[in-house]
Amino acid sequence: MTGDRASLRARADAQGGVVLTAQALAEGWTRGRLGRFLTAGGWTRVRPGAWLVPGREAGPAELLWTHQLLRPELVVSHWSAAMLHGVETGPPGERPDFICPAAAALKGATLHRLPLAPGDVTVVAGLRATTVARTMADLLRARPRDDALVAVDSALSWRHGRGSGPPGSRGRPLTTLDDIGRALIRSPSLRGARAAAWWLAMADPRSGSPAETLARLRMNDAGLHPETQAVLVVPATGRRVCPDFLFRRQGLAVETEGYAWHGSRAQHQRDAIRFNALAACPEVRRILRFTTADVRDRPAMMIRDIRDALG
């Protein structure tokens, strides 16, 4: 009897849990026997001709595998590529993103008909995707400024690593400003490239969280330009502490809080301990703290409070 069950499952496991009907038929399965096996075994049909192993939900990664297996010419890009690379961003998009310069319309996904240079494509977690630098360049061109810079700051800093990402990538930068700049220059005629170059100049690898990036942008828009991550020392203990933002002349430190974006509840607790250390620094006479919700939803209030504290 042709068509081996173990082989079919092994193929699916190697492909993000997805196997194609065409692959099974090529291995000797008949359509009738395959259909009976998949139905009885609890496999889920993700798309016509694509099946997901039992017990696994069709999440973002599984959908990427499904589309790319059915259409091998597609390259994962934009938000979807940022997710694969482990870049920390805001809420994910509802539709997978792909680039293919000459592809036809793609149901259930967003297709970007953009040119790709050979050096713009890599393999991440088994999927063909745009490199980190090219991904950041595409986000800067296509997405709102603030969303794009949240991703860029993450890729440039130590704080990424929440996605699948390449092994060992957590805790070190995924790319550089120069690499992103070169990715922009390679296609200078693409729509939004000029604005993207201006926005890239606003990136800061020292940013410690998405909320911190957004707070910096809000202050910048309001004409406020504090030091970011200035290194201070607690006299009594010698401990080094870095406020998110410091208006040194006025002695004002500004901190962004909130475990939902900043990391975890444990990190939130460490931030509270850090508040006490900041208060012990002679350079700091007052500390303002804002939550992620303040930064995202009430920026006018945040700016007003900072201006009032600055006098």
Which residues, in sequence order, are bridge partners of residue 75?
99
Please count the helices (runs of H) and the strands (runs of E) in the chain. Answer: 14, 14
pTM score: 0.86
Residues 39 and 152 in one domain: no
The answer to whether residue 205 is domain-embedded is: no
**Residue 2 confidence (pLDDT):** 63
Return all residues near 18 (Cβ < 8 A) that are at least 6 apart.
12, 46, 50, 51, 52, 53, 62, 65, 66, 69
Taking residue 301's Cβ as centre, other Cβ atoms within 10 Å add up to 11
List the CATH number of the domain containing 247. Answer: 3.40.960.10
Residues 66 and 188 in one domain: yes
The structure tokens listed for 92 are: 């994910």
Residue numbers of the domain that contains 77: 61-200
Mean pLDDT of 285-297: 94
Q: Are 117 and 137 in contact (CB under 8 A)?
A: no
- Looking at the predicted structure, is the pLDDT value of residue 187 above 90? no
The answer to whether residue 28 is domain-embedded is: yes
Q: Map tokens 């599984």 to a residue.
A: 62
Residues 283 and 263 in one domain: yes
- Looking at the predicted structure, is the pLDDT value of residue 169 above 60? no
What does the pLDDT look like over 201-212, one tens digit per residue? 999 999 888 899
Report the domain count for the chain.
3
Q: How far is CA 117 from CA 120, 131, 134, 207, in A?
A: 5, 11, 10, 30
Look up residue 161 and give its amino acid.
G
Half-sphere exposure of residue 10: CA atoms within 13 angstroms, side-chain side: 6
**Residue 186 confidence (pLDDT):** 81
What does the pLDDT look like over 212-253, one tens digit per residue? 999 999 999 999 999 999 999 999 899 999 999 999 999 999
The answer to whether residue 284 is domain-embedded is: yes
